[in-house]
Amino acid sequence: MSQKILVVDDEEWVVQAVRRYLEAASFEVVAAYDGPTALAQFGTHRPDLIVLDWMLPTLDGLSVAERIRERSNVPIIMLTAKTAEEDRLEGFQTGVDDYVVKPFSARELEARVHAVLRRAAGKTSPVLEAGDLKVDREQRLLWVKGEPVELSAMAFDLLSFLMAHPGRVFTRLELLEAVRGETYGSFERAIDSHIKRLRQRIEPDPHNPTYLVTVFGIGYKLAKGEGA
């Protein structure tokens, strides 16, 4: 069965160009041209990935991403003409998994779609456990104290990677490379945003974390949840 991509952009020619290229790559494509329609299409079609323009009428792409993140960890690639670091960090804080800067080539977008879907699919591996945390990387499921918890694709990859290397300290750039396959020095602080969001989901007290521990001057490590 073909994987389904929701493409959202207020410029019809952009949507149609992306549609032709992705359909040629054997994806099924669903289109939307504004924020409310994007949310409706998401609810109806449950796509495997969303290509989402930031600047949309009525409801912008960032707001759409925020609403989708409240109920799903579907991968999101943001299309944007915004190049400022603070804009991208804002997107990562919302749960966006990757960016493609306008103008872009359809070939680049297709490559990023494949890369993000590969990361979202995860690698076949045993269940990982640490304290009250349990992760199934094959099914991409997380439980905290036996209760299921949803994460964005990137947040899940980050937690899984740290749980696979308990006690080992990683720099922000190492973590960024591990979960995205690339390093962007100017975006390494985006890891801080994902760590903060993860702590809110998994820590008994996010302000005094016992799982995702900061190693000052270096980065982060995964502890056993028994105290930093």
Instruction: Give me the residue label for tokens 């001057």.
Output: 217
Answer yes or no: is pLDDT of 228 > 50.
Answer: no
Q: What is the pLDDT of residue 124?
A: 42
Tell whether 228 is covered by a domain. no
**What is the mean pLDDT of the segment spanning 145-169?**
88
The whole domain housing 117 covers 4-121
List b or e across 58-79, with b for residues whose CB sees 16 or more CB atoms inside 10 angstroms.
ebbbbebbeebbeebbbbbbbb
**What is the mean pLDDT of the segment spanning 31-42?**
94
Tell whether 167 is covered by a domain. yes
Last residue of a domain, one of 66, 94, 121: 121
Last residue of a domain, one of 121, 152, 181: 121
**What is the mean pLDDT of the segment spanning 106-117?**
84
Q: Return the structure tokens found at 39.
A: 């949310």
Sign of CA dihedral 57, 190, 158, 80: positive
Answer yes or no: is pLDDT of 12 > 80.
Answer: yes
Regarding pTM above 0.75, the answer is: no
- Confidence band for 85, pLDDT divided at 50, 70 and 90: low
Q: Using CA atoms, how far apart are residues 13 and 127, in angstroms rounded to an integer?
A: 44
Tell whether 227 is covered by a domain. no
Answer yes or no: is pLDDT of 25 > 70.
Answer: yes
Domain count, the chain: 2
**What is the mean pLDDT of the segment spanning 166-179?**
83
